[in-house]
Each structure stands twice: as C-alpha cells, then as structure tokens.
Amino acid sequence: MRKITDIVIHCSATPEGKDFGAASIDRWHKERGWAGIGYHYVVKRDGTIEPGRPLEKAGAHVAGHNANSVGIVYIGGLAKDGKKAKDTRTPEQKTALRTIVAEMRRRFPEARVLGHRDFPGVRKDCPSFDVRTQL
C-alpha cells in the first residue's frame, strides 16, 4: 500500500441539484485523455459512496500531490448557474463525507485532511467549503 499523507476533499464542479456518479466522472476524465477517474471515492447527492480509482493506485486529483494522497469528491460545488462556487452538499453528503473521512483517518492516522484549495498554488474554490473547520 502507498504511504498516505493527505486526504483531499474535492467537489465535482457541477451545478447544484444535478446528480452524477463515478461512471460519469470516469467518462469525463477519459475524455480529457486521462487513464480514468482520478478520485478514489465519489459521494453522490443521496449520500451513496461509490468507489473510484483503487486506493492502491495513485490518484489524479492534485498536481504534485497524488502519489501520497486519497482523493474524495462530492457531487456539486457550483450554484445552479454552473458558474459561482457554492457549498451544495446535501445533509446526506455531509454525513457520508464525515463517514468516509473517519474511515480514512482510521486507516491513515497521520494523514492531513485538506480541501483541494488548501494546496499551494491552487487557484480554485474547490471544494466550495472550508474542510479544516467542517471536517
């Protein structure tokens, strides 16, 4: 198993109220020329946690930090207009995120929990909420 130092939370940057899952993200990432879904877990609007890339494989979600991180994405993160960053997490997603983060912290107790935007040089609002105060 890889040494995990970071658990990284993302949003899918999709409009509020629209539901997608791991299969959609896998398709989007392949369309960009990637090997497949870059996240390890996907949290759907109903709170379902879907597997993405196998945990044993490095993700493709934070440039320069993939080798030692786990990527978790929730569906949403944009207002209905699809442009403005917004915390669109449903109550079910909030619960599911707490659950998957707790599981990852049990497996990797030394790992930090960060949002994508918390990495140096990242110019995104992702995941559209403050991970450090809410998770």
126 band by pLDDT with thresholds 50, 70 and 90:
very high
With respect to residue 16, please indicate whether it lies within any of the assigned structural domains: yes
Q: Where are the alpha helices (DSSP H) in 3-90?
A: 22-31
Looking at 61, 65, 74, 126, which residue is catalytic? 126
Domain annotation covers residue 1:
no
Instruction: Kindly name the residue from 10, 29, 61, 86 that is annotated as catalytic.
Output: 10
Is 99 inside a domain boundary? yes
11 part of the active site = no
In a domain, 14, yes or no: yes
Assess whether 29 carries a catalytic annotation: no
Give me the pLDDT at residue 29, please.
Answer: 93
- pLDDT of 16: 95
Amino acid code (one letter) for 49 = I
- Report if residue 84 sits inside a domain: yes
Asked if 124 is an active-site residue, the reply is: yes
* 115: CATH: 3.40.80.10
Say if 58 falls within a structural domain. Answer: yes
Residue 116 annotated among the catalytic residues of the structure: yes
What is the model's pLDDT at position 1? 81
User: Could you give the CA distance from residue 104 to residue 1 in angstroms, rounded to a whole number?
Assistant: 13
Residue 29 structural domain: 6-134
What's the mean pLDDT when you consider all of the chain?
Answer: 96
Range 68-73 average pLDDT: 98
How many folded domains does the chain comprise?
1
Which is the catalytic residue, given 39, 41, 44, 65? 39
| Whether 39 is catalytic | yes
